[in-house]
Amino acid sequence: MRPPPIKGDQQTSQRDCPRLAVMASGSGSNFEALLQACRSGDPQADLVLLVVNNPDCGAIARAERLGVPWRLVDHRHHASREALDLRLIELFREARIDLVVMAGWMRIVTPVLIQAFPQRLVNIHPSLLPSFRGRDGVAQALNAGVTLAGCTAHLVCEEVDAGPVLVQAAVPVLASDTIASLSRRIQRQEHRILPLAVALALARVGPQG
């Protein structure tokens, strides 16, 4: 597949709205949920770019179907995490991005990216932070035997999954739950809270200068 051009932005509306980019590594369901929310006007923002680091991820097919420009930035082709983040910054600046959303981006970002978009980098994580930070938040919750799990949308800081919380949603853990079943219910809540988190993040900072 050939990525469509970023410049020109045929899919961008004529409204003077903040411009969003999404970073994804997997199926892209949060990307699609956020895009549909933006196209419905809540939040009032234009999602104009998807960046993926996995050439086989399902998010690409969603972007193709929904008419959103996308770019592959494969971490395996960069010498360091900092080099990867520098390439991301180039793309985001080229597309005049106001806010970046990490929606299932399975790479730890560095201060290089965080400092380029201070308070403008949002992450969605499948746990009720500060519990179960890092990888496999759902598995961590099941292994700990908790009766309440959930998801958190937060601003990104240099410590993993430790930035200011924007929105959380709780999900009961059932005795019959597996990682797959609990993940599905948590993901439905992620789809619900991510647009709200983006609106709150934009309200905090306003348009990018």
Q: Residues with catalytic annotation?
A: 125
CB within 8 A of 79, min separation 6: which ones? Answer: none
In this structure, the number of other CB atoms found within 10 A of the CB of residue 180 comes to: 8
Strand 121-125's sheet: what is its strand order? 70-72, 46-52, 19-24, 99-102, 121-125, 148-155, 165-172
Q: Are the C-beta atoms of residues 21 and 97 closer than 8 Å to each other?
A: yes
Q: Helix, strand, or coil here: 165?
A: strand
Asked if omega into 43 is within 30° of 0 (cis), the reply is yes
For 133, half-sphere exposure in the C-beta direction (CA atoms, 13 angstrom radius) is 11
The residues facing 169 across adjacent strands are 151
